[in-house]
């Protein structure tokens, strides 16, 4: 959530930065905001005037009573009672205004950092660097569907059990998928210093509001319906949703907390399934595993001092890159433009891996600095050197998306006979196996 003081101080500048983002996501009803702010200021000014009058009249009551002027004292008391009633009405309206402003701000995305390239969509993203050279095949490379199906990828069974955009893995392919996740977890914990966590796969609405998925993006979530006691409906505040990413529970570790500065940075990782309805993606990536309703991811989260967050962004991007480097998968790093960034991000790097079956680079990780946007919603703070509470900065990133990494391994390590060579980094996770054969 944006700092309302920033909007009050320089609304025009903030709106100009928001307008560079993709609409209607960047919607802020400026007229409604200004109207509420004007009313709020008027009420607060009137409240201060009334409080001063009440204090003055209260003193007069004592003085008049001391002089024996009962009529004058009663008249003053009546005025005090009228002022009290007006103050109570004003306090109620002020609370309503604050609630309306809060609701309005919950729908407004983060402000892009000044270093983010301006653009309307993914065509405005800027390549930062590349690593590796795409392999030249002496045969026509196939996509992961054709390579993986003989190895245990079963799309028909996924449709039978759940519907479109669900996949079943069996045998060698299931073991390869598990090996990738284990390899990523070991790398992030042992080499990069993250603490491994196991988190709930269903979270409450407070958790999703804290990281920015609710209320604006409820359509992208899967609700986890549960029955009430004795047939009673479950109240809204008890609703649960399947996690769209482990970022949600991990970042919420610090919700309503004040941590010591000495505890920073907090570095957390978790392997979990992720559930996304993919609202608005109808017709996109319908073949294979690129865009699924359920997929696995090893998530990285850092919670840091505000002065360190952009240093942490570069570090986390490097932590995701190492996974691809150790697997020998060519990739490029893209700085997302203002129109392609996620709701909570101030700056994002995407890692895009080379897929020979598509002759294209495809996203396999996003690493974002949210600055204080999530912390303000979460009330996640630390006690600074001056002993004052200050908002933390939060970052999140994939380290990596396991299913898309599986796709990349299948396509980059495929052989003409239909087998897949096991990357060197994964051999120990597959019992020394060097080749997956149909």
Tokens representing 332 are: 């490029």
114 assigned to some structural domain? no
Instruction: Let me know whether 160 and 302 are in one domain.
Output: yes
* pLDDT (average), residues 217-235: 75
Residues 316 and 418 in one domain: yes
pLDDT at 25 over 80: no
Number of domains the chain contains: 2
Q: Is 364 annotated as a binding residue?
A: yes
Q: Are strands 381-383 and 389-391 parallel, antiparallel or unpaired?
A: antiparallel
> Does the annotation place 428 within a ligand binding site?
no
For residue 363, say whether it is annotated as part of any ligand binding site: yes
Is there a single domain that holds both residue 80 and residue 169?
A: no
CB contact set of 247 (below 8 Å; sequence gap of 6+): 211, 299, 301, 396
Over 60: is that where the pLDDT of 388 sits?
yes
Q: Cα(30)–Cα(39) distance, rounded to whole angstroms?
A: 14
In a domain, 74, yes or no: yes
Two tokens at 393? 């900065």
CATH number reported for the structural domain that contains residue 59 in this entry: 1.10.287.40
Name the more confident of 65 and 53.
53
The answer to whether residues 267 and 301 touch, using CB atoms and an 8 Å cutoff, is: yes
Average pLDDT rounded to a whole number, residues 163-191: 97
247 is an annotated ligand-binding site residue: yes
Report, as an integer, the average pLDDT of 243-272: 98
Whether 112 is in a domain gets the answer no
Q: In the chain, pLDDT over 70 holds for what percent of residues? A: 96
Torsion-angle region of residue 328: left (phi > 0), alpha (psi -120 to 50) or beta?
Answer: left
**Inside any domain, residue 15:** yes
Contact 211, 344 (CB under 8 A): yes
Examine the domain organization and report whether 54 and 141 are in the same domain. no
* Res 284: pLDDT: 73
Helical ranges in 242-341 per DSSP H: 247-251, 309-327
3-state secondary structure of 367: strand
* Residue 279 pLDDT grade (very low, low, confident, very high; cuts 50, 70, 90): low
Query: Across the chain, what does the average pLDDT equal?
Result: 94
Write down the pLDDT at residue 62: 80
101 falls in which pLDDT band (50, 70, 90)?
Answer: very high
Q: How high is the pLDDT of residue 395?
A: 98
Name the band, by pLDDT with cuts 50, 70 and 90, for residue 278.
confident
Rounded Cα distance between 210 and 376, Å, is 8
Residue 23 binned pLDDT confidence (cut-offs 50, 70, 90) = confident
Has 205 been labeled as part of a binding site?
A: no
Tell me the H-state helices in 68-116. Answer: 70-106
Average pLDDT over residues 235-248: 86
Give the model's pLDDT for residue 233: 60
Residue 280: per-residue pLDDT: 60
Q: Is 263 annotated as a binding residue?
A: no
Average pLDDT over residues 12-27: 85
Question: Which of residues 431 and 27 earns the better pLDDT score?
Answer: 431
pLDDT band (50, 70, 90) for residue 26:
low
CATH code for the domain of 367: 3.30.930.10
Q: Is residue 232 domain-shared with residue 139, that is, in the same domain?
A: yes
| Least confident segment among 51-55, 165-169, 184-188, 403-407 | 51-55
The residue that leads in pLDDT, 368 or 230, is: 368
Given a cut of 60, whether residue 299 has pLDDT beyond it is yes
pLDDT at 236 over 70: no
Q: Is the pLDDT of residue 264 over 90?
A: yes
**426 near 172, Cβ under 8 Å?**
no
Structure token digits, residue 93 = 């309206």
Distance CA 311, CA 333 (A): 16
Is residue 44 scored above 90 in pLDDT?
yes
- Catalytic residue positions, numbered: 276, 291, 363, 366, 404
72 part of a folded domain: yes
Average pLDDT over residues 285-313: 95
In a domain, 157, yes or no: yes
Is 97 annotated as ligand-binding? Answer: no
Average pLDDT for 196-209: 97
Q: Is pLDDT of 225 > 90?
A: no
Q: Is 414 helix (H, G, I), strand (E, B) or coil?
A: strand
Q: Containing domain of residue 94, as a range?
A: 4-107
pLDDT of residue 27: 77
In a domain, 206, yes or no: yes
Regarding whether 321 and 266 lie in a shared domain, the answer is: yes
32 labelled ligand-binding: no
Please give the order of strands across the beta sheet that includes 258-260. 258-260, 381-383, 389-391
The region of weakest confidence among 130-134, 229-233, 321-325 is 229-233
Q: How confident is the model at residue 230 (pLDDT cuts 50, 70, 90)?
A: low
- Residue that finishes a domain, picked among 64, 79, 107: 107
Cα–Cα distance for residue pair 106/100, rounded to 1 Å: 10
The pLDDT assigned to 68 comes to 79
Domain boundary among 78, 107, 136: 107
Query: Are residues 23 and 171 both part of a single domain?
Result: no
In a domain, 148, yes or no: yes
């Amino acid at each position: 959530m944006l700092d309302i003081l920033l909007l009050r101080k320089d609304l025009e500048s903030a709106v100009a930065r928001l307008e560079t983002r993709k609409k209607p996501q960047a919607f802020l009803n400026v007229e409604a905001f200004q109207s509420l702010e004007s009313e709020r200021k008027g009420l607060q000014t009137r409240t201060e005037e009334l409080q001063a009058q009440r204090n003055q009249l209260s003193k007069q009551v004592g003085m008049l009573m001391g002089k024996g002027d009962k009529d004058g004292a009663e008249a003053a008391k009546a005025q005090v009672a009228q002022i009290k009633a007006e103050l109570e009405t004003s306090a109620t309206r002020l609370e309503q205004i604050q609630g309306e402003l809060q609701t309005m701000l919950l729908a407004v995305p983060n402000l892009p950092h000044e270093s983010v390239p301006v653009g309307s969509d993914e065509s405005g993203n800027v390549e930062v660097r590349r690593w590796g050279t795409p392999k030249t095949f002496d045969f026509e490379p196939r996509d992961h569907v054709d390579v993986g199906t003989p190895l245990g990828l079963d799309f028909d069974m996924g449709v039978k059990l759940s519907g479109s955009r669900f996949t079943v893995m069996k045998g060698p392919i299931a073991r390869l998928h598990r090996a990738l996740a284990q390899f990523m977890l070991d790398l992030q914990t042992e080499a990069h210093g993250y603490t491994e966590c196991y988190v709930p796969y269903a979270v409450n609405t407070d958790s999703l509001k804290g990281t920015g998925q609710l209320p604006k993006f409820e359509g992208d979530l899967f609700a986890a319906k549960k029955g009430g006691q004795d047939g009673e409906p479950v109240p809204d505040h008890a609703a649960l949703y399947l996690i769209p990413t482990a970022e949600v529970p991990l970042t919420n570790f610090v919700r309503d907390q004040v941590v010591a500065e000495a505890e920073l940075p907090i570095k957390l990782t978790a392997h979990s399934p992720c559930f996304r309805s993919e609202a608005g993606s109808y017709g996109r990536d319908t073949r294979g595993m690129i865009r699924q309703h359920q997929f696995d991811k090893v998530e990285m989260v850092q919670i840091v001092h505000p002065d360190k967050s952009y240093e942490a962004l570069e570090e986390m991007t490097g932590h995701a890159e190492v996974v691809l480097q150790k697997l020998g998968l060519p990739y490029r790093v893209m700085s997302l433009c203002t129109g392609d960034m996620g709701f909570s991000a101030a700056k994002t790097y995407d890692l895009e891996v080379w897929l020979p079956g598509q002759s294209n680079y495809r996203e396999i990780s996003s690493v974002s600095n949210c600055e204080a946007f999530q912390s303000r919603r979460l009330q996640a703070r630390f006690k600074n050197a001056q002993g004052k509470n200050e908002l933390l900065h939060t970052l999140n990133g994939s380290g990596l998306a396991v299913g898309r990494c599986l796709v990349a391994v299948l396509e980059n390590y495929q052989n003409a006979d239909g087998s897949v060579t096991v990357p060197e980094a994964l051999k120990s996770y597959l019992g020394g196996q060097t080749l997956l054969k149909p």
